[in-house]
Amino acid sequence: MAEEDASAAALDFERDTLLIPQTSSRHAPPCDSVTPESTKCVEINTTNPDGNKKVKLQLPMICEPPGPNNPTGSKIWVIFGATGHMGQSLTRACLSKGDEVVAVGRINEDTVEAIQEKFPYPNCFNALCDVRVRESISTVFDRARERFKRIDVVANCSGYGVIGAFEDQDEHEMRNQFETNFMGTVHIIQLSLPYFREQGAGRYLIFSSTSGALGVPGLGPYCATKYAVEGMIEAMLYEIDAFNIKATLVEPGLVRRDEPDWTSRPLPTWGHFLIKPPTEPYSDPSSPALHAKRIVQWLGDKQPTSAIKCAELVWQLAHCSYPPLRLLLGSYAIESIRDRLRSIIEEFEDWQHLHHPADPGLENEEDGEDEDGGEVGDDGENTEPAAKKRADQSVIADEVIVVRAESDGSVAHYNVQPYE
């Protein structure tokens, strides 16, 4: 019996090892360095010249963020969507800290001169592209390499969304969101991966959203694009680990527009979102389809999370030694995704009794017998005493399954037998 236990454990270990991709130790901190204190964000309190207290957040020590104990040199960034909501704050943060930046604006909305006015820094190189067009992105990378000879960080802050009921969004609007948010990310990564592999290092900072972790009424297609991006990055991370290339999904939640030129933009646009007027079935002010619109109209610039402070943390992310897969920014992001995960776990628990292997006794269910052989009454209830039924169910739940593997040439046969 002990041998069977050991055999089953060994098989389970081999199976789990095959199912869970393994990453190299250089992308994760040493296990003995993980402590409760090391996983908490650090608050650095300073005082402004006017005497007011200023709190600066720093990434957890487990990430080995930049600082006196982990000095880092300047990096060369390519930031797509540099003229957008988060892009402006991130670009200014990088430039102010001495990093060199290729600030990429939208080819149909920006001009090189306008970008120069936004970022009047000598260490900034400006470019335009359409992330939906692969050749446009390729030109940006070629010019960046020609100017700086290398690329250290690629950040994608570009994005586009339509606020409106799923039924009200036409095919063109849905495809445009996927072409911008998902295929744009695909183009950026596929065209820069060869550079990173050649260098033996590189880092991706892909701006996702809390909409990539939960469905938001009124943002259905936009959520779908972010779900797609998150799945792709999470899978790709295992594939690029061997090349010393790292990737992080940045998930901000309700980030206010700190840049002054954004405050005067009225609806029907809000940031990089287009707000569609609802059709008659969804015109009721209390309709769930108007949830996203109500959020942006009610909040305006009252969002609790600062884009400037988020940009500071993202800059640290590019310079830390062990970046996480996901970085959630803001209390709304933390609470909403935590609630979402909690609801998923609760749903699993409510329905887990249907996930166990079927008991052989169920084969007789159609003949009027229940799973443990008892008779079923006219009302469909088991006529056996409840205590006996609970005892039988306990035995079934405690049953241990042992998998024996027998080799027959090059083919392995697996027989599932109950533990005896």
Taking CA atoms, 259 is separated from 85, 148, 296, in Å, by 8, 28, 17
The neighbouring-strand residues paired with 129 are 106
Residues 6 or more apart whose Cβ sits within 8 Å of residue 65 = 58, 59, 316, 319, 320
Do residues 119 and 96 touch, judged by C-beta distance below 8 A? no
Q: Is the peptide bond before 268 cis (omega within 30 degrees of 0)?
A: yes
Tokens encoding 79: 């930031």
The C-alpha atoms of residue 209 and residue 187 are separated, in whole angstroms, by 19
Would you call 311 helix, strand, or coil by DSSP?
helix
Q: Looking at the annotation, which residues are catalytic?
A: 208, 222, 226
The C-alpha atoms of residue 224 and residue 366 are separated, in whole angstroms, by 42
Cite the DSSP H helix spans in 274-352: 291-299, 307-319, 331-351
Strands 100-106 and 124-129 come out as parallel
Cite the DSSP H helix spans in 165-302: 171-177, 184-199, 220-240, 291-299
Do residues 252 and 305 touch, judged by C-beta distance below 8 A? yes
Q: Concatenated DSSP letters for 55-115?
A: EEEE--GGG--SBTTB-----EEEEETTTSHHHHHHHHHHHHTT-EEEEEEETTT--HHHH
The C-alpha atoms of residue 271 and residue 273 are separated, in whole angstroms, by 6
Do residues 320 and 66 touch, judged by C-beta distance below 8 A? yes
